[in-house]
Amino acid sequence: MTYKILIADDEKIVVDSIKFILENNLNEDIEISTFTFGREALENLLFDSYHIAFVDIKMPDLDGLELIEEFRKMRNSEFPLFIIVSAYDKFEFAKKAIKEKAFAYILKPYSIEDIVLTVQSAIAHINSVLAKTKENIEKNAQLIVMRNLLENSFIPTLIFKNVFDIVDINQYEKIFGINLKSGILMVLSLKDKNDFVSSFKELDNIRKDIKISFEHKVLTSIGMGEYLICFFSAFSQKEAEIYKEKIQEILKQKPYWNNIKVGFSDFYYLDEGYEKAFWEAYYAMLDIDSSDENEENEHLFLLTENLEAKLIHSINNPTQIPVIENYINQLCRLYVELFGENNLKYKVIKLIIMLLLEIGIENRNESVDIEKLISQILNSSSEQIVEIFKKALLTLFSKAKIKHDQIINNESINKAIEFINQNYNQEITLSQISAAFNFNPYYFSKLFKKYTGVSFKTYLTKLRIQNACQLLKNSSKSIKEISFAVGFSDPNYFIKAFKKFTGMTPSAYRSLPDESKPI
């Protein structure tokens, strides 16, 4: 493994000496980059991946502590490990270094041993972290796939919805490890489009290249089957301009450069709305002005997004199938109007997958055979696809409704049991409980037995007997008083029920030693 090391100090002699020590005293493969300006070093740390960074605490344009602080704001990353080099033995500097989570603090003048031992310790720490990371990646391969799917569906939400109303943006920042409150958008399209599968694969390969080059700084989504949409996190207009230059520089080196069209938005804050940024990038990609002639398509596109969002929201509350069927019919008409046959296939497949994710992807085979469905869609005409799509969505919503009803029923039974447990000593009947939770008594009785394994009457009687046993153990109340205290209106019936559940009368139970009492 090659360890990438950055050295930043405004004194060239210091830079050269640390570089010389490392190159001549370490057994590991290393790659060293050197800088004499703090700002230049920060830009390289942000756009490249380093394992270790030596930074001088005092540099004219940006000191080492400020550099680390700026880096931490923009990157949520384990590496590089920062090693501060300073001629100042001041408590305030050391305290701030600890606050910024610096790995080590080396005072000038330093020895060869100071540098070598610190780097060896850093490499040992890096190896430990990477080993754990590898183990976690292997354990969480499925979660990574789910994260990518979440990212793909999150981008339209970020762009076209009021995020503050529908998601906790801070939570998504933690999930993706990226600032979502400001940045730029890029829209990329292929000039020469092949069949759907080939075009999708090519866009996906471009997406992977961008993700590799801008890890922790970009979210991506392949939208409408022919556009790659990228959100690049940035904290300022200046940083956004650096991104644009860097992105184009990387893309120009790729073999597909001459077959892509790219458009960028200006720098935007989340509260300004990223929808405007999207259309800015979209029209820049098409190399046209945003004019009135595009408003109709823009309106239809937003209407499509809105219907998709309604369907996704409805999957978890599928109580009105006729309304949902109306959404599906509208969406099918829009898909046919807006997209060609290949893109129609992609849109249909994508929406079905998003709905499966909403209802729980682990249960997808219980809902629909997705592999078979995709095969059908890819080998069908537009008219056939619409019918397949409608049938699949109605199946999904029917299954979701069954699941939804089961959840509601289980929640109601749980609440009913909680109510019984708290009010067992009151007069409670099956009719009262079922009415309180909006159930038909017969249906409630069946649900209750299915959920608890016993009838309502048996559950209530057993609960009362268990509490009576506690009173017989721990109180001097008479048997008659205890029968009333636990909800029996007839002491004779209480004695009969008690004997049925325990095998003895209340008096016999009370006379037993505590360790011999069965309940």
Give the tokens for residue 346. 């992609």
Amino acid at 208: K
pLDDT in tens, 101-126: 788 888 888 999 999 999 999 999 99
Among the listed residues 45, 86, 52, 92, the one whose alpha carbon sits nearest the alpha carbon of residue 67: 45
Across the range 377-389, mean pLDDT stands at 79
Q: Which residue reads 């190896």 in tokens?
A: 127
Question: H or E element: which one contains 263?
Answer: strand 260-264
Per the structure block, which two tokens stand in for 330?
Answer: 């509208």
pLDDT on residue 231: 93
Residue 503 Ramachandran class (φ > 0 left, ψ -120 to 50 alpha, else beta):
left
Examine the pLDDT at 469 and tell me if it is beyond 60. yes
Residue pLDDT, tens place only, 335-348: 777 665 556 777 77
What pLDDT band is residue 50 in, cutting at 50, 70 and 90? very high
Between CA 472 and CA 506 the distance in angstroms is: 8
| AA letter at 214 | F
Lowest mean pLDDT among 1-5, 22-26, 30-34, 399-403: 399-403
Cβ–Cβ under 8 Å, residues 25 and 75: no
Which of the pair, 260 or 135, is modelled with greater confidence? Answer: 260
Q: Collect all residues with Cβ–Cβ distance below 8 Å to 41 and sequence separation of at least 6.
A: 6, 8, 35, 53, 55, 62, 67
pLDDT of residue 461: 92
Query: CA-based angle 140:143:149, to the nearest 5?
Result: 150
pLDDT level of residue 362 (50, 70, 90 thresholds) = very low
Q: Which residues make Cβ contacts (< 8 Å) with residue 44, sequence separation at least 6? A: 6, 33, 35
- C-alpha to C-alpha distance for 378 and 385, rounded to whole angstroms: 8
DSSP state for residue 161 in the 8-state scheme: S
The answer, yes or no, to whether residue 296 has pLDDT greater than 70, is no
- Return the pLDDT at 15: 95
- Over residues 414-448, the pLDDT tens digits come to 888 888 888 889 888 888 887 777 777 777 788 78
pTM: 0.38
The pair of structure tokens assigned to 327 is 């959404």
